[in-house]
Amino acid sequence: MTTPATLDSIEIEALVTDRYLDALLAAAERRPPDAPGDPAPDPALDPALRSAALRLRDELVRVHPSFRFEERLARRLAEAAAGMRLATAVGGEGTLLPFPGAALDTARPVPRRPLLFGGAVTSAALGLAGAAFVAWRRTRGAPTDPMARAIRLARAARAVRDGTATELH
Amino acid sequence: MFGRGRGGEAAGAAGRVVPLDPDRSLVTAAQVDPARFDALYRKYLAQVYSFAYHELGNHHEAEDVTERTFLLALDALPRFREQAPDEAGPEASTFRVWLLRIARNTIANQRRTLRRHPATRLDAVGEAAAPDDPERAVLARADASAAWAAVARLPGDRRRAVVLRFVEEMSTAEIAGVLGRSEGSVRVLLHRALRTVARDLGERGETP
């Protein structure tokens, strides 16, 4: 069973070990290839732990992948990066820039659906108004504006003069 | 290199100085232009591969994990934010810690897949050990040292802590970031791991 006292002692021992490992690995970086590179340990450090740490430092080495794998993955990453650049270029990850002098509230949600409905209603209303105007123009008699009346009179006078009409309105 | 880390104003106000991410300029360049990710890839390839290899004990599986780790990292890089340890706790991250955390998760997924769908490649027939069993994998290697075998027999996080400390030469704080634990807990993990390795070597007649 772990009591608070034993927990404290483990933590203290762990701190001592950690300090030794810091010194050991730092010394390994600085030392010439054949030098032992073992820093003076804290007397509180268990000699068995110290020996185990020295062996692990010497025997645990980094493993490198093959050159062929390295270059193949580099090409794959370059292709993926090119795809990301393309996506950015077409605006996939673009941001809105404020127009000088205008406040840009990007936090406000864009009212997509109301705008769509508004556009549809406006379009239908314009269509109905157009149809009503055409119908009105067809049911309406001769135009009443002065220019149209003058043209009509001139045409009628010419018809009388030519004898093609019997009545002058 | 030391200074106040990004987002570390609170830590700065308390008078603490936190280490800067030495990869900050490379990360910023890659965030602007993904083609510049190559520099980070070349720098950390061996570390990610080595970590995966020590965990899985198989070159093919280590290559798969390495490939997926870097592709995930490239994809997620625009969302990466360096965080000072004091503010973020276990989420504290430099690029290296963030990358190895992705590697750790990818290795865990690979293990789950291998357990569900065990498969043997023709070119891996000579490797007697199962890829999700690091102890057997290491013991199967003719050149495996006694110390190596002792590490492979350690349970999960103790083994990972030893590999990150001795092979990747990470600090306790960095290992805490990768494993998602506190620094104190990582120190105790390492201490217990060393004690186990020392006992193991002693029992097998090896000088620890």
Q: Is residue B63 within a helix (H) or strand (E), and if so which, with residue range? A: helix B59-76
Nearest to A14 among B33, B187, B208 (CB): B187
- A53, B66: Cβ pair inside 8 Å? no
- What's the ipTM? 0.74
B73 touches chain A (CB under 8 A): no
- Report the 10 Å Cβ neighbour count for A158: 11
CA distance B153 to B66: 23
| Mutate: best of B75, B187, B190, B192, partner A, most A CBs <10 A | B187
The ranges of chain B with pLDDT < 50 are: 1-16, 88, 90, 120-129, 140, 142-143
- In a domain, residue A11? The reply is yes
- In a domain, residue A122? The reply is no
- In a domain, residue A157? The reply is no
- A22, B171: Cβ pair inside 8 Å? yes
Report residue A158 as tokens. 């010419």
- In a domain, residue A153? The reply is no
- In a domain, residue A54? The reply is yes
- In a domain, residue A117? The reply is no
Indicate the SS3 state at residue B3: strand
Written as one letter, the residue type at B75 is: D
- A48, B202: Cβ pair inside 8 Å? yes
Q: Is residue A86 within a helix (H) or strand (E), and if so which, with residue range? A: helix A67-89
Contact predicate B189/B161, CB 8 Å: yes
* Confidence (pLDDT) at B122: 38
Full pLDDT tens readout for chain A, 169 residues: 455 555 678 888 888 888 998 888 887 665 555 555 666 767 778 888 888 898 888 888 888 999 999 999 999 999 999 888 777 666 555 554 555 554 444 444 445 555 555 566 677 788 888 888 778 776 665 556 778 778 888 888 888 887 765 544 4
Domain span holding position A16: 4-59
Q: Is residue B192 within a helix (H) or strand (E), and if so which, with residue range? A: helix B183-203
Which residues, including other chains, have CB under 8 Å from residue A59's CB and lie 6 or more apart? B145, B147, B148
CA distance B190 to B208: 16
Report residue B114 as tokens. 């291998």
Contact predicate B24/B98, CB 8 Å: no
Contact predicate B7/B83, CB 8 Å: yes
The predicted-structure confidence for B53-77, as pLDDT tens digits, reads as follows: 988 888 999 999 999 999 999 999 9
A160 touches chain B (CB under 8 A): no
- In a domain, residue A66? The reply is no
Report residue B49 as tokens. 């591969």
Find the farthest-apart pair of alpha carbons in chain B and give their distance in angstroms, rounded: 60
Please give the full DSSP string across B131-162, using - where no structure is assigned.
TT-HHHHHHHSTT--HHHHHHHTS-HHHHHHH
* Confidence (pLDDT) at B4: 40
Nearest to B167 among A15, A62, A78 (CB): A62
Nearest to A77 among B70, B148, B172 (CB): B70
The predicted-structure confidence for B12-45, as pLDDT tens digits, reads as follows: 344 445 556 788 889 999 999 999 999 999 999 9
Contact predicate B180/B90, CB 8 Å: yes
Number of domains in chain A: 1
Give chain A positions within 8 Å (CB) of B66. 65, 69, 73
- In a domain, residue A27? The reply is yes
Q: Is residue B47 within a helix (H) or strand (E), and if so which, with residue range? A: helix B37-56
Contact predicate B172/B183, CB 8 Å: yes
- Closest Cα in chain A, distance from residue B162 (Å): 9
Indicate the SS3 state at residue B18: strand
- Closest Cα in chain A, distance from residue B189 (Å): 8
Contact predicate B23/B94, CB 8 Å: yes
| Domain annotation for chain B: domains and CATH numbers | 22-203 (1.20.140.160)
* Confidence (pLDDT) at B84: 57
pTM: 0.64
Please report, to the nearest 10 degrees, the dihedral formed by the alpha carbons of residues A114, A120, A122, A128 taken in order.
Answer: -150
Nearest to A51 among B33, B78, B208 (CB): B208
